[in-house]
Structure 1
Amino acid sequence: MAKTQAYEGYCKGTPTILVKEKFGNANVYTKNTQSVLNKASGFISAYDFTLNPYRGCQYGCSYCYAVAFSPNPPMRQDWGNWVIIKQNAAEVLEKELQKWYEKNPTRSPSIYMSSVTDPYQPIEGKEKLTRSLLEVMVKYQPTLVIQTRSPMITRDINLLRQFHRLRINISVPTGSERVRRDFEPRSPSIFARLRAIGILKHSLPCNADYDTRFSVTMTPLLPTLEADMFSLINKLQVVDRVVIQEFHASHNRTLVASTRPEALEITKKYSWWYDNEQLNYLVFRDKLVAMLPDIEIKEGQAGFGYD
């Protein structure tokens, strides 16, 4: 039987995994991993693999479903205040991609990075783990989708521009800073994210040889104040797809779709939106369709494929 892993600060007995350092508010741990390419399933089953450089996320967004994948209940309760670095991830990825092409010499894999963490959370600025993974992947040219809410992604433009099939999904669930600060106070500003999209769009090639695509994912869709609505939608013209989804669309309590109590508490502050959420969602969707006639407006899972 595998030995239970006890993380320092989140266990009663003697810890087996010690805190490497404190980075901001987060306890940072390091571990080796046996695999970084995990078979994609569920919401992103259209891909061959998911790739998560880290476990945990310093942004600690109130609504994030990834908290369910915490190593233990104490860490689940302290979501956002710890992160685990998969320190050998680049080496393992190289081996896994070599193995893939030995079995599939004529087909490139499709990879979604990341499904349960942000590959550009603050610790990435120091560790450069995501960058090391890009350096490996650019040699093997998978179809790659990067999901992040961080402008730090612009740091890696020199690598991103070498991918032949790339989609970048930037999470912008609201156009209002007041709403962002309530639901995800540790995350980058809306302005910084939208600015990053513009930088990426004008810096990365899109032609017959380099198929580069851009999405804004508003999942879950949070309220946007009326005063911010026009400015937000106008700035979305730079992407080719906008993805929206209710908070959360399935309305059941499954592992993936459930909404955290922390976020449900915050929704009370925005009763003007959530008391009529489905109607407000439809009105917002119709505004997107009317104001962005040349851009794909997709809902839920349909928006997360590469094509």
Structure 2
Amino acid sequence: MGIEIKEILAKNILTEAKGYLDVGYTHSLNPYSGCAFACRYCYVREMPIQRFKGILWGEWLEIKANAAENYRKEIIKLRKKKNPVNIFMSSATDPYQPIERKAEITRGILEEMIENPPDFLQIQTRGPLITRDIDLIVKLKEKCKVLVSITIETDREDIKQIFAPYAPGINLRLKALKEVHEAGIMTQASISPVLPFTPEFPKVLDGIVDHIWIDTLSIGDGAMGKRSERLGMPKLFEEHGHSGWYENNLHVKVEKYFKKYFSSEMIRVSKNEAFTRFQA
């Protein structure tokens, strides 16, 4: 799959939190626009940034070359208001795109955060490259609260290949999650969205996470499942014999199953959990 990559100068890097991020988070931060991982279920496919792009999702990527500089200016301005700054990175891309290995946009932002930290930072990624920046995250967690959340939708590589063939492998993500956790950084496995998994899935996560986040295509696409329907997800599940995994109450069943292995305090469900629980 070819991808068109270009550098841009972004007007700003921090965006006021809206929608599902509006509970507790004050801002989202996206070091890139577009995403090379091109997951078939990604709700961003149905957002204006993609619908009016004219290029298929997964075939374009914009590098925000001035991201760290913008962050520094914006956080200093926000600090003058003396309000909490709680950042979700990232909501409409992955901060660890393959090009990040060379571009180091996310790394540059983390370096700037050490000098001008937010109050809380959640790094949301499926990129094993995050292990490169453990040194910076360890320093940053001395300045503010940090949660590293790695998306692991399933423990089945064959299922991942159906829904996210260009995303990093499951075992690579699990290895990264373990490495981050062993560095003393608070970690979360984001089962988002829930895809068919084996009965052994909870055991795979045992000992390498502090939290588990459960989300589904019915409750987590920002439109109560309508975006996922437009993306053809019900049909895709059906084509591969997994219709039973596409139910409105799937999150209830998955939560119940994982509570057999983890304490209730460790498990959060997208539909009814608030950000503030991470602050405990």
SS in 2 for 1:169: strand
Consecutive unaligned residues of structure 1, counting only runs of 5 or more, are: 1-23, 205-211
Match of residue 58, structure 2, among 80, 90, 102: 80
Q: Which runs of 4+ in 1 moved over 6 A?
A: none
**What residue in structure 1 maps to residue 81 of structure 2?**
103
Deviation at 1:303, TM superposition (A): 4.5
Q: CA 1:87–1:149 in structure 2 vs 1: closer, same or farther (change >3 Å)?
A: same
**What residue in structure 1 maps to residue 263 of structure 2?**
293
The answer to whether structure 1 residue 218 and structure 2 residue 191 are counterparts is yes
Q: Map 1:1-307; keep pairs closer than 5 Å.
A: 25-45=2-22, 46-69=24-47, 71=49, 73=51, 75=53, 78-104=56-82, 108-142=84-118, 143-164=120-141, 165-204=145-184, 212-224=185-197, 228-230=198-200, 232-237=201-206, 238-249=208-219, 254=223, 258-259=227-228, 260-274=230-244, 277-278=247-248, 281-293=251-263, 296-303=266-273, 305=275, 306-307=278-279
Q: CA 1:262–1:82 in structure 2 vs 1: closer, same or farther (change >3 Å)?
A: farther
Q: CA 1:249–1:271 in structure 2 vs 1: closer, same or farther (change >3 Å)?
A: farther
Instruction: Please say if residues 154 and 191 of structure 2, whose CA atoms lie closer than 8 Å, have aligned partners that are also in contact.
Output: yes
SS in 1 for 2:218: coil
The 1-side partners of 2:162 and 2:50 are apart by: 26
Question: AA paired with 2:270?
Answer: G
RMSD: 2.4
Instruction: Please say if residues 169 and 215 of structure 1, whose CA atoms lie closer than 8 Å, have aligned partners that are also in contact.
Output: yes
Deviation at 1:102, TM superposition (A): 2.2
SS in 1 for 2:87: strand
The 2-side partners of 1:193 and 1:234 are apart by: 15
The 2-side partners of 1:255 and 1:25 are apart by: 32
Question: AA paired with 2:32?
Answer: Y
Taking structure 2 as the reference length, what is the TM-score of the superposition?
0.87
Q: CA 1:127–1:152 in structure 2 vs 1: closer, same or farther (change >3 Å)?
A: same
Task: State which drifts further: 279-288 or 190-199.
Answer: 279-288
Q: How many residues are treated as equivalent by the alignment?
A: 270
Consecutive unaligned residues of structure 2, counting only runs of 5 or more, are: none
Taking structure 1 as the reference length, what is the TM-score of the superposition?
0.80
Question: AA paired with 2:269?
Answer: E
